């Protein structure tokens, strides 16, 4: 009857709430051991193991063994893109506890989206780069780095010219599910995020996709981009200038 690929296999794997939490955690781009994934998703190690083996068999995640630990990660970039896409058309979670509400705020504030930045920070940074003319909207799906932008990123410590000598810099416009604006994805997004971790403007918050903006990062974001960051992650009204 059905000539379509086995959609049900992949979707039913993602559909389970416990597995969704696990995949969410892996969306940070990190590799996590089975035990930690069990803790994060709030199930026993046995249950987690059962879920993980199903996800591996379904090619949604991949394993790498290191000693007695088994580290899990998303199988490929397509899975991450799929997760983000689903998030865009999904209803928000209903908040049940204060703890959860704070968790939520942190994630909406700043997070990684597989290998690039998202949340208020990701969007604000994108808006600032656009406003200052360092990147430009070239189409419905892409940004482009301008000549000034190339110079700007060089000053920041990212030598794009050296990285992709001939090929064009690829900067995808990635729709942000929490902000409903676009942020920078693709190659450029990945490079920026990695660099900001390196120069310690941001750092990971353990066990989630949320990232914390350091004191250094807060000062530099104000200085370079005029972005007002309240370092308290739970705060709502950030980036007053950025959206102007």
- Per CB under 8 A, residues contacting a second copy are 1-12, 14-17, 20-21, 24, 40-42, 59, 76, 78-79, 81-83, 85-93, 100, 103-104, 106-108, 139-142, 168, 170, 172, 177, 186, 208, 210
What is d(CA 91, CA 8) in angstroms, rounded to the nearest whole number?
21
Say how many residues make up the chain.
Answer: 244
Interface pick for DNA out of 17, 89, 93, 244 (rule CB under 7 A): 17
Q: Residue 117 binds which entry of a second copy, DNA, none, with Cβ cut-offs from 5 to 8 Å by kind?
A: none
Tokens 């009204």, residue? 237
Closest approach, Cβ 147 to a second copy, in A, equals 18
9-17, 93-101, 111-119, 175-183 -> range binding DNA (CB under 7 A): 9-17
Question: How many other β-carbons are positioned within 10 Å of the β-carbon of residue 43?
Answer: 18
Instruction: Judge contact between 57 and 51, C-beta under 8 A.
Output: no
Tokens 């739970």, residue? 234
Interface pick for DNA out of 2, 44, 139, 165 (rule CB under 7 A): 44
Q: Residue 104 binds which entry of DNA, a second copy, none, with Cβ cut-offs from 5 to 8 Å by kind?
A: a second copy
- Residue 36 structure tokens: 């930690």
Task: Work out the angle between the directed axes of helices 77-89 and 7-15 (0-180°, nearest 10).
Answer: 70
Closest approach, Cβ 43 to a second copy, in A, equals 11
Closest approach, Cβ 46 to DNA, in A, equals 3
Q: Does 47 bind DNA (CB under 7 A)?
A: yes
30-38, 177-185, 220-228, 229-237 -> range binding DNA (CB under 7 A): 30-38
12-20, 102-110, 127-135, 210-218 -> range binding DNA (CB under 7 A): 12-20
Kindly compute the dihedral angle of the four CA atoms of residues 223, 105, 182, 143, in this order, to the nearest 10 degrees.
40
Closest approach, Cβ 135 to DNA, in A, equals 40
Instruction: Judge contact between 184 and 126, C-beta under 8 A.
Output: yes
Closest approach, Cβ 94 to a second copy, in A, equals 8
Q: At residue 144, what are phi and psi to the nearest 5 degrees?
A: -135, 145
What is d(CA 31, CA 74) in angstroms, rounded to the nearest whole number?
8
List CB contacts of 185: < 8 A, sequence separation 6 or more. Answer: 113, 116, 171, 172, 173, 174
Here's the x/- map for DNA, 64-83, by CB under 7 A: it reads as -x-xxxx-------------
Interface pick for DNA out of 10, 24, 33, 204 (rule CB under 7 A): 33
What is d(CA 153, CA 159) in angstroms, rounded to the nearest whole number?
7
Interface residues with DNA (CB under 7 A) are 12, 16-18, 33-36, 43-54, 63, 65, 67-70
């Amino acid at each position: 009857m059905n000539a379509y690929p086995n959609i049900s296999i992949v979707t039913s794997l993602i559909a389970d709430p416990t597995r969704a939490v696990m995949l969410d955690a892996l969306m940070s781009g990190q590799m996590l051991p089975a035990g930690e994934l069990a803790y994060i998703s709030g199930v026993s190690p046995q249950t987690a193991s059962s879920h993980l083996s199903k996800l591996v068999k379904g090619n949604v995640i991949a394993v790498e063994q290191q000693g007695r630990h088994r580290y899990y990660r998303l199988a490929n970039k397509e899975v991450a893109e799929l997760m983000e896409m689903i998030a865009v058309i999904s209803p928000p979670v209903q908040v049940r506890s204060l703890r959860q509400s704070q968790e939520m705020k942190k994630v909406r504030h700043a997070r990684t989206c597989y290998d690039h930045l998202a949340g208020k920070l990701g969007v604000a940074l994108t808006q600032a780069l656009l406003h200052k003319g360092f990147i430009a909207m070239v189409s419905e799906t892409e940004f482009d780095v301008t000549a000034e932008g190339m110079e700007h990123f060089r000053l920041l410590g990212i030598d794009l010219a050296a990285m992709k000598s001939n090929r064009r810099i690829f900067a995808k416009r990635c729709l942000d599910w929490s902000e409903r604006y676009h942020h920078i994805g693709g190659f450029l997004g990945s490079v920026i995020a990695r660099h900001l971790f390196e120069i310690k403007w941001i750092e990971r918050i353990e066990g989630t996709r949320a990232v914390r903006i350091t004191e250094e990062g807060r000062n530099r974001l104000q200085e370079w981009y005029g972005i007002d960051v309240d370092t308290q992650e739970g705060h709502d009204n950030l980036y007053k200038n950025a959206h102007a």
